[in-house]
């Protein structure tokens, strides 16, 4: 049986700049093992599978898989899948909103604009502070050794996935950073976190307000090209500390340049304290998969 298959760049307005994603439509009949096998075969950060919704309020149902395991929630798969659902005509926004059903519950996605100008943002699960640490804390010291730190203390936040958030003094320090992969991996394993999400205020004059680099320590070791969930967790931490850049709770993030990408993520913390993570999406491959 052939099923519609699309590959995308998420958080980018052109091919090659954003975070890659594969989406399989018409996913009925695929069991867990088949979906995991397809995700392993695509070798992309995540692959999503679209099903009819099981609740009346949802526009569609989604399951997300990394090459290694099923993922309850992630930002760029949510945003990219919504783009594909709209493109395929499987659902239409109600008052500008799609409702995505998944393991993390039913989440709204806000749709603004049409065509190439369209942006999509997902309201992310609420993040909470687990703890803060001093730079000399033995659990984290080796992972951040050599970093020129900013004013905020390192913090472990849980937004469905846990991240250690570490502020650096300036953009140049973050851009030049060489991560201590062994120590980051150990930190991720021991704290049951993804790893270290390092950030810094952008230099003046660019088209972004914040620079982010997300170092995943476990189960694999890699730098994420553009992470909607990590950035949403960071936005919640900045809001708690009255440190949001930009205006009116809205700001733009640059991520991925150091690993050959150039993504832009649009973040908003609304009046209710909810975080929306989104941006542009570009379709790159349209075809079918015979599995």
Specify the pLDDT at position 207: 95
pTM of the model: 0.95
- The pLDDT value recorded for residue 124 is 96
N- to C-terminal Cα separation, the chain: 7
DSSP H or E segment with residue 123: strand 119-123
CA distances from 120 to 39, 168, 223, 243 (A): 23, 29, 24, 24
Structure tokens at 151: 């004013």
CA-CA distance, 167 to 146, in Å (whole number)? 13
Q: How far apart are CA 20 and CA 277, in angstroms?
A: 16
pLDDT-based confidence at residue 266 (cuts at 50, 70, 90): very high
Report the percentage of the chain scoring pLDDT > 90: 96
Supply the mean pLDDT for the chain.
97
**Which residue, 120, 108, 46, 125, is CA-closest to 83?**
120
Residue 130's closest CA among 105, 175, 161? 161
- H or E element that contains 36: helix 32-42
CB 259 within 8 A of CB 20: no
pLDDT in tens, 181-229: 999 999 999 999 999 999 999 998 899 999 999 999 998 899 999 999 9
Query: Is residue 60 very low, low, confident or very high in pLDDT (cuts 50, 70, 90)?
Result: very high
Predicted confidence at residue 219, as pLDDT, reads 85
22 in Cβ contact with 274 (< 8 Å): no
Backbone phi and psi for residue 29, each to the nearest 5 degrees, phi listed first: 95, -15
Given a cut of 90, whether residue 282 has pLDDT beyond it is: yes
Rounded-to-integer distance, Cα 287 and Cα 23, Å? 11
The closest of 12, 7, 6 to 257, measured between CA atoms, is 12
Residue by residue, DSSP assigns 171-225 as HHHHHT----HHHHHHHHHHHTS-EEEEEEEPPTTSS-SEEEEEEE-SSS-EEES
At residue 205, the pLDDT reads 86
3-state secondary structure of 282: strand
pLDDT of residue 160: 87
- For 96-143, the pLDDT digits (tens) are 999 999 999 999 999 999 988 999 999 999 999 999 999 999 999 999
Sign, CA dihedral 135-137-140-142, equals positive
Mean pLDDT of 228-241: 97
CA distance 109 to 3: 25
pLDDT at residue 149, rounded to an integer:
98
User: Among 129, 72, 79, 59, which Cα is nearest to 103's?
Assistant: 72
Q: In this predicted structure, what is the pLDDT of residue 28?
A: 97
């Amino acid at each position: 049986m052939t099923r519609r298959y699309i590959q995308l760049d998420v958080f980018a307005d052109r091919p090659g700049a954003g975070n890659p994603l594969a989406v399989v439509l018409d996913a009925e009949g695929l069991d867990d093992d088949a979906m995991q096998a397809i995700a392993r075969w695509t070798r992309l950060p995540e692959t999503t599978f679209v099903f009819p919704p099981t609740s009346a309020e949802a526009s569609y149902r989604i399951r997300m898989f990394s090459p290694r395991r099923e993922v309850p929630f992630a930002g760029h798969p949510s945003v990219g899948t919504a783009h594909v659902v709209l493109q395929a005509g499987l659902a239409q926004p109600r008052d500008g909103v799609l409702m995505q059903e998944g393991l993390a519950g039913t989440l709204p996605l806000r749709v603004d604009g049409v065509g190439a100008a369209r942006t999509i943002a997902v309201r992310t699960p609420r993040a909470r502070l687990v703890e803060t640490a001093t730079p000399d804390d033995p659990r984290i010291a080796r992972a951040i050794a050599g970093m020129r730190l900013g004013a905020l203390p390192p913090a472990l936040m849980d937004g469905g996935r846990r991240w250690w958030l570490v502020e650096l003094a300036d953009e140049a320090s973050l851009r030049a950073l060489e991560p201590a992969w062994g120590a980051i991996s150990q930190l991720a394993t021991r704290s049951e976190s993804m790893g270290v999400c390092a950030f810094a205020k952008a230099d003046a004059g660019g088209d972004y307000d914040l620079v982010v680099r997300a170092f995943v320590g476990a189960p694999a070791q890699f730098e994420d090209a553009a992470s909607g969930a990590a950035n949403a967790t960071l936005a919640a931490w900045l809001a708690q500390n009255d440190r949001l850049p930009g205006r009116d709770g809205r700001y733009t993030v640059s991520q991925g340049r150091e690993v050959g990408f150039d993504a832009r993520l649009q973040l908003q913390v609304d009046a209710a304290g909810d975080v929306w993570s989104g941006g542009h999406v570009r379709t790159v491959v349209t075809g079918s998969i015979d599995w």
